Every structure is written in structure tokens, then in C-alpha cells.
Amino acid sequence: MKSVLFLDIDGVMVPFGMVGRDEGIYDHDPFDKGCVKILNTIIDQTDCEIIISSTWKHFFDLKQIQEIFQWNGVIKAPIDVTPNSEETIDEEPEDIKCHEISKWLSKNKTKISHGWCAIDDWDLSFGLQNFVLCHNSRKGLKTKGISEKIIFYLEN
């Protein structure tokens, strides 16, 4: 693997405020076309592999997620999902997600020849060094300046 992008979906590929999003319809929301275009540009420039860190991994298996990506026009399907950790009452969702990404990295870091990056609309900066916050979950990946930061981490 050249580089790895840990990708969240809700708030990143499926911005909040899209049709269906506010009604709680989570199982079939299409990705935002602008977000797909930016993700495809990132993939083209870095040849990164995609690892799903999204909670969608609890609702769909990897094959289904790959089909969702293909259906939405993403040029490269995810190759894996982060491992599920045992949640405890005391842990915040952000802590759990950081732990899952760190666990995947511990197991696979020697396979990565370049950089890695995690993008999420939850702030994971306290637990991950190569993290980009998608601070505008109504724009998702279309938030200004995000793709450049992601590409920087993936190439270094």
C-alpha cells in the first residue's frame, strides 16, 4: 500500500442537510456528487487505499460498502474497515474511533510506504496525529482547504 485514508462517511461524504438526512434515513443516502469528485481527485493524486472508519461498518459489510462506493461513482473501493472495539460506558465515540484507527495502524503500518490520514466530522485530533477535521458537516469533503491537507498527509 502506498498510503491509507481512514474515511468517515456521515458528515464527510454524506453532508448533513441533504435530502433524507434530517428525516433519519441513513441506510441509503447517496454520497454528495461534489464530495465524490473531491475524493476521486485525492485518490488520483495519491493512489491511496481507503479504510472505512465510519459507523456504516456496523450496518454494512465490506462487500456492501464497496458496492455503495461503486454505485456512487467513487473510482476506488475501500479495501478494509477498522476493527470494532469493545465499547465501554465510560468511552466517548471519538475515543472509540481513535482506538479503532490506532489498532488498524498497529497491525498494518509496515504495509504503508507513504503517509496516512484520517478524516472525520468528529474531532479526533486529541488521539490521532495525521487527522483532518471536516468542521463543516453540512459541506462535507467540499469544505475549503480539506483536500489539500489530506493530500499532504498521504504524500508524506
Q: pLDDT tens, position by position, for the chain (156 residues)?
A: 799 999 999 999 998 865 444 444 445 568 999 999 999 999 999 999 999 999 999 999 999 999 999 999 999 999 999 998 876 656 788 899 999 999 999 999 888 989 999 999 999 998 899 999 998 888 999 989 999 999 999 998
Question: 14: closest CA among 2, 27, 32, 26?
Answer: 32
Q: Is the whole model's pTM more than 0.85, yes or no?
A: yes
Give the Cα separation of 143 and 136 in Å (integer): 6
According to DSSP, residue 56 is labeled G
Q: Where are the alpha helices (DSSP H) in the chain?
A: 33-46, 62-71, 93-108, 146-155
Domain ranges of the chain: 9-155
Give the Cα separation of 117 and 125 in Å (integer): 11
Question: 115: closest CA among 142, 80, 141, 152?
Answer: 152
